[in-house]
Chains A and B, each alone.
Chain A
Amino acid sequence: MLSSLMGYYSLIFGLCISLLIILFSVKNFKNSNILDSKILLFSFLQLVLVFVSFLGLVISFVNSDFSNETVFNNSHTTKPLFYKITGTWGNHEGSLLLWLLVLTLFIFIFLVKSKNQLKKYRILTVIFQQIIIIGFFTFLIKTSNPFNYLFPIPEEGLGLNPILQDPALAIHPPILYLGYVGSSIIFSSVLAATTLNYINNDWAKHIKGWVLISWIFLTLGILLGSIWAYYELGWGGFWFWDPVENVSLMPWLALTALLHCILVLEKRSLFKSWIIILSIATFTLSMCGTFLVRSGILNSVHTFANDPERGLFILSFLFVLIFISIFIFFVFHKSDNKKLSPIFLLSKETSIVINNWFMMYFLSVVLIGTVYPIFLDVISSQKISVGPPFYHKLIIPFLIPLLIFMAIGPRLKWIKSELKDKLSLAILLIISVLLSLFIVRNFETNYLLNSILIGSAFYLFFITVRDFFSKKTQRLSQNIAHFGFSLLILSILFNSIFSNEIITNLKVGESYKDDDLEIVFNDLTKENKKNYVLFTGVFSIKDKSFNNILKPELRIYNQPNIITSEADIKITLLQDNFITINTVKNEDYFNVRYMIKPFMLWIWVSVLLIALGGLISLFNKKHEE
């Protein structure tokens, strides 16, 4: 009760402070030469207020204060404490409050960290960021207030959706949000810099850190979501081209393109307009993602509530932001055509342009695949869906040139370059092609495409590995990230080629047998837990290389009344053995799914390596040239 009130009034005060900050900023912009310390002070105050508000919600959740509507809808007294806390952002209202918290945190950090920048630039960035913050404050207070009061006070809450009661999902939203919201700083900053005609090398050096931060968090956030879908949803894979997954991939692709372009701008005055467009696009895509997911247009676990008003609000807010940015782009941005810097065909610049082409191509494929069904529904009310074959067909062939360019591009120099040690590059190419032919031939997967893909992935793999040991490696971060990518593609390929899956319905005591595999359903035990009834199946599985007992679980939650399957996964370096069970109509038969998934662990590890590349670049800014 008290904590809800505290939270609510902190929000209102927070909104008022936004207006104050804009007022001070506008005044300060013309008058003095140094940044008004009041701006910094009030930004800090705003951060504290939003934090208090967030804390208020957390406390309401911990105390199971059901006079708060959000708590009532999403919590339950029997829920473990950990999930009471994480349940705070496991719902629409709370997750938006978290988003707002990150927004205010980032603008404060920005102010502290940008002391060496121009005063006007800092102030303008604050103003643009405050416009976004005001938008979110209004959205939160008007359409999704997390502190709505309920009377009479209910005895018991409705409970949190059990599939959200999972450690990976507890940290997935905050990490992903850090990525999304990081792009808002890039957006505000690029608008400020465009207005002041300040898009240059200094600006690039300064903004690169922010690009890296949001890129790293976005990468990790996507990874966590993917791991969660693998074991908790029992999807048994790492990527499904689900619209909700796509929505997080799109800003990632734009951000990756931007990250590479910033490297150019750091050294040379090129691609200025393109960088502005990319920065705007990244943030717009993040916002579009929120819109699509929150408005209930996409059906998924993230769709907390179908409320047209919310969708409409985000959509109109998005239009305002896009309008402002287009206006600024066309009015203030002057392209400096006169002093065109030379580009030669064989140079680092070209290779980065090529990178951008690939990213934009992938982005448009994913965008069309995600948006087209919605579009068609609105136009002709035809209901369709676009499945994985669409994406595979359009993306996989283009991975081959991408991988090869990723291997060669980084060895080129700025402006004009020659390809050195051609001999060793050629030798490595031959080795990787031979190796892939050997693998593909031996395992009887005679797909031409696969062998070329494996060959090019091995090529990138070998070149990056060699560079770790050669003294010439200038950029460790780039090398690790590219190495991670080659490992990712290799693991995905081997995973998809060698995966094996058996689906069958079994009763207790029955067994499934085929040529080289036996699954025996030994036993089923029942246990009462705090907020669910636990059934554990005991399966013994025998094949040539694997002889083990796996215990998948079936949880029947009492509030809300939902059944979830918990996979049992035996993880080894080479493969995952994965089993899930499910009931059908409470009969004796259980739906059993057993999978052998090679190199799953390496898929996760390689994404971590890609993020690590970004991290090294972030902390190594000065040394890497």
Chain B
Amino acid sequence: MLLMGFDRNNPAAVASRNAPVAGAETLPPFGASTARDLSARFLPPLLAVTSVIGIWWALYLIYPRLLPSPLSTVAEAIRLVTDGTFFFHMYQSLRRVFVGALAAMFFSVGVGIYMGTVMMGERFFQPLVVLGLTIPGLMWALIAVMLFGINEFSPYFAVTVTIFPMLVINIWAGVKSLDKELIDMSHVFHFTKRMKITQVILPQLVPNIFAATRYGLGLAWKVVVVVEMFGTSNGVGYQVMKSYQVFNMEGVIAWTLTFVVAMIVIEYGIINFAERRLTAWRPKIDVWRR
């Protein structure tokens, strides 16, 4: 929609679009450009995945007792998905990740903005954040289960406290690089505090919030899986542990695989989509254009 508006309203843009690319007439005639674009886009990741499977297969052929075959593992993964086990346990894990991550996000945006704008806030929270960063997620997982026992609060707590300092650091850094001129403008035009936060400050923090979300979700998964291994009776972590206890390597790898696929869907499907929507105001930048 944005690009359509751009073309229609800006005669200069229309002109530059229709103009031939400088030096284009000297380019050698390559094949169909769409085919080239597609192969350039999908070939490298396909090659990466194929090479991992190739190495796995080779290792399976050399040490058949140590590793399960890729085929039987994929068959196991398909069974998990088709009989619904996967969806039930994945839902449990996802819920824990998202509730914990949302709570952490909520607190970290508040604390990050406070640290970046009030000197006392920075002095108070900085040592706590540094301390929090040094404590491994595994420790929080153990502490949470010991403190709250085997219930739903333990994974929520562990995820929130593990990723909170990392999110705060990102948002705090973002607040420190806020555009002072825009803040001054909002003051001059009598913006209310609420308008300043929602219309001027938060939109500037969008890149930081996305960076923090990506990293935070990755970390949250790891913590949730650990908590589930010994603190819950369902979820992906619990299933991996169950497979481990009967030395079912196929099960362990099949669960890990399905879990990775779910992560990729979230990253490319949800986060990328949301980021594109929220940064649509920015013209596309091509740094390496020749």
Q: Do A and B bind each other?
A: no
Interface residues of B (CB under 8 A from A): none
Chain A interfacial positions (CB closer than 8 Å to B): none
